[in-house]
Amino acid sequence: MTEPTFKITLAQLNPTVGDVTGNAAKARAARAKAAADGADLLLLPELFICGYPPEDLVLKPAFQAACRAAVEELARETAGGGPAVLIGTPWVEDGKLYNACALLDQGRIAALRFKANLPNYGVFDEKRLFARGPAAGPVTVKGIRVGVPICEDIWLEESEEYENVVECLAETGAEILVVPNGSPYARDKNDLRLSIAVARVTESGLPLVYLNQIGGQDELVFDGASFALNADFSVAAQLPAFEEHTTTLSWTKGTDGWRCSGPVMPLIEGDKADYAACVLGLRDYVRKNGFPGVLLGVSGGIDSALCAAIAVDALGADQVRGVMLPFRFTAQVSLEDAAKLATALGIRYEVLPIADAVNGFEKILAGPFAGLPRDITEENLQARTRGTLLMAISNKTGAMVVTTGNKSEMSVGYATIYGDMNGGFNPIKDIYKTEVFRLSSLRNEWKPDGALGPSGEVIPVNIITRPPTAELRENQTDQDSLPAYEMLDGILERLVEREEPLATIIAAGFPADVVTRIDRLLNIAEYKRRQAAPGVKVTEKNFGRDRRYPITNRFRDNGKALPAPDDRLVARAGKASADAFEG
C-alpha cells in the first residue's frame, strides 16, 4: 500500500508594505510554482498581502478593503483546482480587526484563522492594532487536518494571558503545524527560533513548518531562514537566510505520522549575518522607496568606508557616489585612503574642498562670536557644512544620503546634529565601533551571496589599522574624548542592551568615573537620537523601535548599590483588591 503524501510549498518571499497589488502578484507566481511541483498547499508569510509590519496603516479602512479585495480575487483563482493557499491578511469581522490567515481553496475563502497571542514588546505593538482571536482547531486541506498557529502563537510560554493555540490544535486533531511568521532578524536569533519550535513539537507531538519572510522594512530586516521539523525533532528542511526562496516539501504519512526529508541549506551566522542584514536593509530601503541611488561623504575613515562597501554590495557601484569634503584638518593620508577606497569599489568619486564655505560662515559669525574663544562650535561648523553640501547634491540628483554613524557614537552623542547625522538611512546605526572594525576586515575576505560589489580587498588596510579621528582639529583622535572602544562598547552593551545598574557594571571591573560619564553622555544624547535617520536593527535592543527613553529626563543612576525593598511597609502582599483599602 502506498503511503499518503502531502506536498507543502514554502514561499519565503519579500513583500513590500502597502504594495497590495505587487504582493498579490508574488503570491500568484509562488502558486504557479507550487502547481508545477504538484503541491497541495502553498504557505505564505504572516500578513503577506499587506506586508509586515503594516503599523497604523492597517487601521485605514481603504487599506483594509484593498487587502480583502486582493485576497478574494486570489480565492477566485483557486476555482480551477491546484494547490490551496494559506495567506496572511488583515481581516475585519464584527467590527474587529484581526491578524488573520486565510485558506483559499476551490474558488472560495474556505477558512479563516485569527492570531490569538499578540506581541507587545520590543519592536512589536500588535495589541494596539488587532483584536485577539480565539484558539481554533485545524483547517482541512485535501483531507489533511492542518494547524495554523500564527507567529506569536508558538512563541509565548504559559502565562496568564497566553492562549495555548498549539495545545488546542493537537487536542482537536491537527496532523501537522504550519506557522506563518514575520520574525525580524537579530544576532543569534536562529537558535532561539529553533528552541521555540522544538518546545512546540515536544508538547504537541506534531511536525512543524516554520515559514518566515525576508526583506527590509524601515529599521527591520527579516532574514527568512525558514525550516521544518519532524515530530522526532530532526530537521526536515532548512531554507537559506537573506534571500527569497521557494521550495516544495513532500511529506509522507507512516505509522508515526507525517515525515519529510527536504533540503537542508547552510546558514550564515554572527558577523557575516550582521553584514548581510545591513546590505539587505539598505537595499530594500532604497529600492522600495524609489531612490535612484545613494551618495555619502567618504572621509578616509572606517565608518564611511564600511558604509560605502555595504552600499555597493546592496546596489552596485553605478548607484553609489562618494564625496570627499576636505578642510585644513584633513590629513593627506585620509585623502589618499578615500581615493583608494573609491577605486577599489568602482564608485563615482569627487573631492569638494569646504574651506570657502566654512570660512564664509565664520566671517558671518565674527560679530556674534566676538570675544568668545574657539571651541567645539567651530568644529561643528565643519560637519554642518559637509552635511549641507551632501544634502544639496541629494536634492539636485534625487540620490539618498547615507549617514555613517555607528552605535557607539550614536550612544554617546559623538556626532553633529544637522551635520554628519544628515541623511536618509544608516546601515550601521546598530553596529558598535568594535564590530565596525571586524566587519571591515571580514568584507575584505568574504562577501555575502548576491552582493553586487567586487571580491577581495575593498577597504584599504590602512583605514582599518589607523586610529579613528573626526579630523575637526589638529592631531585629533577619538580617544581624546572617549575611552578605548573596547571599554566603551563593553559599558554601552551593559547600559543599552542589558539595562544594568551602574553598580553592577562597576563591579564587573569598569572604572567608576568612566561608567558614570558614559551613562551621562548616553542620557543627554537622547534628543539627537530622536532626530537621527533610521537604520538597520541587528542587536536585541536598537535605538528607535526597541529603546524608547524620554528626552526630558532628570533621573540619573548614582552608581550605588540598589536599595532593597522594605516589604514591612506593604500592608498586604499579593495582588491588589478592594479589601486592601480596609483598615
Amino acid at 533: A
Task: Please tell me whether residue 407 adopts helix, strand or coil conformation.
Answer: helix
Beta bridge partner(s), residue 237: 228
Helix or strand or coil: residue 273? helix
Q: Given the residues 50, 67, 151, 307, select the one marked as catalytic.
A: 151
CB atoms under 10 Å from CB of 422, counted, come to 22
Q: Does the annotation count 151 as an active-site position? A: yes
Which residue's entry shows cell 551613562? Answer: 519
With beta carbons less than 8 A apart as the criterion, state whether 268 and 448 touch: yes
Residue 194, exposed/middle/buried by CB under 10 A (0-12, 13-18, 19+)? middle
- Are the C-beta atoms of residues 522 and 495 closer than 8 Å to each other? yes
**DSSP 8-state class, residue 547:** B
What one-letter code names the amino acid at 480?
Answer: D
The count of C-alpha atoms lying within 13 angstroms of the C-alpha of 89, restricted to the half-sphere facing its C-beta, is 32
CB 418 within 8 A of CB 389: no
CA 91 to chain CA mean position, Å: 25
96 sits in which H/E element: strand 96-105
- Secondary structure (3-state) at 409: helix
Amino acid at 110: A
Q: Confirm if 187 and 270 have CB atoms less than 8 A apart.
A: yes
Annotated catalytic residue 46: yes
**CB neighbour class for 562 (10 Å; exposed up to 12, middle 13-18, buried from 19):** exposed
Q: Closest Cα to residue 273, out of 456, 539, 460, 490? A: 539
Catalytic member of 46, 152, 471, 493: 46
Given the residues 7, 26, 115, 340, the one annotated as active site: 115
- Residue 221: name the closest of 263, 160, 283 by CA: 283
Written in H, E and C, the secondary structure of 310-346 is HHHHHHCHHHEEEEECCCCCCCHHHHHHHHHHHHHHC
Residue 430's CB: how many other CB atoms inside 10 A? 28
Q: How far is CA 62 from the centre of its chain?
A: 28
Distance (Å) of CA 101 to CA 57, 178, 349, 582: 18, 11, 49, 49
Q: Torsions phi, psi of 331, nearest 5?
A: -75, 150
C-alpha cell at 438: 571586524
β pairing state of 214-217 and 144-147: unpaired
From the CB of residue 16, how many other CB atoms can be counted at a distance below 10 Å? 18
Q: Annotated active-site positions, please?
A: 46, 115, 151
